[in-house]
Structure 1
Amino acid sequence: MRVALAQLDQVAGDVAENLDRAATAVADAADRGADLVVLPELFTVGYFAFDSYARVAEGLDGPTFDRLSALAADHGVGLLAGSHVEDLGASAAAGVDVPETDGLANTCVFYDRDGTRRAVYRKHHLFGYESAETRLLTPGESLATVDFEGFTVGMSTCYDLRFPELYRRLADRGATLVCVPSAWPYPRVEHWETLARARAIENQCYVAAANGAAEFDDATLLGRSTVYDPWGTTLASAADDPTLVVADVDPDRIDAVREEFPALRDRRE
């Protein structure tokens, strides 16, 4: 399977422009043979555009989600459509199961090749360090996995990388590829690289970490989107400019690594 990480530049608060950039990236990825495309965290609004969160929030049946679904169908790709500010009340009114019936969430959606919504993940760990996220958003409560092209794909978001127990729970649910839409800023380059690689090594799975490449008034995203294999080896990576990171991943590689080095089997709880 070929996975593509869209490392997008973003205009703070401009949903239409950011969606257009995502559409171009998805089309480019499809042209390069991608089966699965992963977009960054909160790319439609820009993570640090906190004052715009309430304005752009919508339910899972809203126009932004509809366009992303159509992108997947139009190009025949699986699409982990980054994350967006979800209006939980609007989703609940549409019959979607939500952790709360009021408030906002940082929400990832996985669309299949025909545009069908297959899974929803709401960010569990809200970033409290010099961020308004904990004040503005409601944390998620459930994990999400989906079977796609021989993989069990798990989802997490950015700051979740610092909490290894979440990834172990995904591994226990059979995850063999974990996608991580992110908005990781400078200066914590070493943290970004080390944590994503560690999650791959300790769970003997692929990790595809898709970061943004954008500059805001008080922060700059560091890019460096990367795909790691189950040994923690870098398969493909980028610097900090907008680009597309493409790598081929093999579900049989998971079994081979776990058989050769059976760390998960040797685990004691």
Structure 2
Amino acid sequence: MQLTLVQLEQRAGDVDGNRRRAADAIERAASRGADLVALPELWNVGYFAFDSYAREAEGVEGPTLSEMSALAAEHDVGLLAGSIVEDLAASAEVGIDVPADEGLANTAVFFDRDGTRRGIYRKHHLFGYGSAETRLLTPGERLPTVDFEGFTLGFTTCYDLRFPELYRDLAAAGATLVVVPSAWPYPRVEHWTTLSRSRAIENLSYVATVNGSATFDEGTLLGRSTVYDPWGTTLASAGDDPALVTAEVTPDRVESVRDEFPAWEDRRR
């Protein structure tokens, strides 16, 4: 399966432009043979645009994710539509199960090749270090997995990388590829690479981290979107500029690594 991470250029206050850039990148990825495409965290509004969160929030069936569903179907790709600021009340109105009747969440949605919504993941761990996330957003409660092209996909978001128990729970649920939309800023480059690789190594699974490319008044995203294999080996990566990061991943690779190095069987709980 060909996996493509869209390290997207984001501009604060330019939701329409960010959506156009995302659509163009998805089309380019599909034209190059992508089976699964992933976007970064809060790519449409920009992570640091805290004052815009409430204004730009929308439900799971709002305009941004409706467009993403259509693009998945048009280009015949699985699409993890990064994450958006979700208006929980708007989602509840159309029958979506939500963690609270009102408020906002940092929400990633996966669409199958026909545009069907298959999974919703709301960021569990909200970042409070110089960020307004903990004040503005409601944390998620569920940890879904989705079967796609022989993989069991799991999803987490950015700061979640610092909490290994979340990834162990996903692995226990059968996840063989975890995709991590992010908005990880400078200067914490070593944290980004070390934590991501560690989550792959300790769970003997693929981990794909898709970061943005942007500069805001509050910080600059460091890019470096990367696909790690179950050994923690880097299969594909980027610098800090906008890029499409593509790697071939296979479910058999997870099985062979776990057979060769059966650390899961040696766990003492």
Q: Tell me the TM-score normalised to structure 1 length.
A: 0.99
Alignment of 1:214-225 (within 5 A): 214-225=214-225
Separation (CA, whole Å) in 2 of partners of 1:189 and 1:72:
32
Q: How big is each residue's C-alpha offset from its partner over 1:110-134, in whole Å with a ceiling of 9 and x where there is no partner?
A: 0000100000000000000000000
Separation (CA, whole Å) in 2 of partners of 1:22 and 1:144:
24
Instruction: State, as a whole percentage, how many aligned pairs show the same letter.
Output: 73
Runs (4+) of structure 1 moved beyond 4 Å? none
How far residue 15 of structure 1 moved from its aligned partner, in angstroms, is 1.3
Alignment of 1:162-201 (within 5 A): 162-201=162-201
Separation (CA, whole Å) in 1 of partners of 2:11 and 2:212:
11
1:230 has 2:224 as partner: no
Q: How big is each residue's C-alpha offset from its partner over 1:158-215, in whole Å with a ceiling of 9 and x where there is no partner?
A: 0000000000000000000000000000000000000000000000000010000100
Alignment-derived partner of residue 123 in structure 1: 123
Q: How big is each residue's C-alpha offset from its partner over 1:93-118, in whole Å with a ceiling of 9 and x where there is no partner?
A: 11000010110000000000010000
How far residue 13 of structure 1 moved from its aligned partner, in angstroms, is 2.4
Alignment-derived partner of residue 31 in structure 2: 31
Alignment-derived partner of residue 6 in structure 2: 6
Q: How big is each residue's C-alpha offset from its partner over 1:234-253, in whole Å with a ceiling of 9 and x where there is no partner?
A: 00000000000000001001
Alignment-derived partner of residue 253 in structure 1: 253
Give 1:246's aligned amino acid.
Answer: T
Residue correspondences, number: 269
Structure 2 runs not aligned, ≥5 long:
none
Give 2:150's aligned amino acid.
Answer: G
1:156 has 2:141 as partner: no
Alignment-derived partner of residue 42 in structure 2: 42
Separation (CA, whole Å) in 1 of partners of 2:210 and 2:64:
20
Alignment-derived partner of residue 70 in structure 2: 70
1:107 has 2:84 as partner: no
Alignment-derived partner of residue 85 in structure 2: 85
How far residue 84 of structure 1 moved from its aligned partner, in angstroms, is 0.2
Alignment-derived partner of residue 56 in structure 2: 56
C-alpha RMSD of matched pairs (Å): 0.5
Separation (CA, whole Å) in 2 of partners of 1:139 and 1:210:
20
Structure 1 runs not aligned, ≥5 long:
none
Q: Tell me the TM-score normalised to structure 2 length.
A: 0.99
